[in-house]
Amino acid sequence: MKLMSVKIGDFTAENNVFLAPLAGYTNYAFRRLCKGYGAGLCYTEMVSAKGLKYGSENTEELLYTDEYEGVAAAQIFGSDPDIMRAACENEKLAPFPIVDINMGCPVPKIYKNGEGSALLENPALAEKIVKECVKSGKIVTVKFRIGVRENEYITKEFAKRMEGAGASLLTVHGRTRDKMYAGEVHFEEIAAAKNAVDIPVIANGGVFSDADAENLLKKTGADGVMVARAALFDPQIFCELTGKERESKLATFEKQLKWTGQVCDERFTTVFMRKMAAFYVKGERGAAAFKERLFQAASPSEVLAIAKEIWK
């Protein structure tokens, strides 16, 4: 795909291939890994604005970063404009110049609480949230879906309102909330958002290869693409999209395990890396047997030993 830099407020991403915020996965180690493989910008897992306000220990873990990772964007969610602004001003977000507001999460718990994709049904509140967050001095971006229900699209008008409220970039997931993470990606709706605003628009949905990325850009006219689930199975998809040289799967796994272990305890590292190994091994010969052994591993060293058998 055609690479180009993307200006987001006063920050410039080196290329237009971004890593999506993925709940439970885009922690420090995974973001650092994908950045090294070519991702122009990586997003944290979505963080609760209320969690920041009340000092949740889990929230602090989600926001760990250091100089080795480079610039990343923090994604927050919530529905109270004042609490959202306070989150942007929280010292835990100080290392992140960009704050993305989640207006697309389809999970029932989030939706029923008036957060995530529920904000698509309350554009006036969504606007107020963005305006308040902009007052914090952060670069504010918004990630949203094309609507809550199929054939009830709000994309164009919502994009215009977010731009008017002060957003510096929009990411549009080309599915409605009721489709969750499956189903057709509506290219024409992402294109409608792109044609309605003057700020950059990133297209999200269905990118599993360079051909997918090229098709998405061609049909939407978007300024870039965001990679989500495909990165879980192969973080080196960013090499494919940006022209970087790939390395062995074992090298990828060893880096991720090492960096995860540097910031997380042994129990978390073991459980998390077992999950990642299960993603990496999908489709390989003997995968089922290896997964069975992986999920019996009791330490990071045991997980690594099994990984070395898989990818000799």
Distance (Å, whole) CA 196 – CA 157: 8
Q: How far is CA 103 from the centre of its chain?
A: 13
C-alpha distances in angstroms, 62 versus 21, 45, 48, 65, 190?
A: 11, 7, 10, 9, 29
Residues 291 and 306: their CA atoms lie apart, in Å, by: 10
Residue of 42, 105, 133, 264 marked catalytic: 105
How far is 66 from 68, CA to CA, in rounded Å?
Answer: 5
Under 8 Å CB-to-CB from 4, ≥6 apart: which residues? 15, 16, 223, 224
Judging by DSSP bridges, how do beta strands 6-8 and 201-204 pair with one another? Answer: unpaired
Q: Which two tokens stand for residue 179?
A: 């489709």
Answer for the pair 181, 153: CB distance below 8 angstroms, yes or no. Answer: no
State yes or no: is 88 an active-site residue. no
Beta strands 6-8 and 11-13 are: antiparallel
Residues acting as catalytic residues = 105
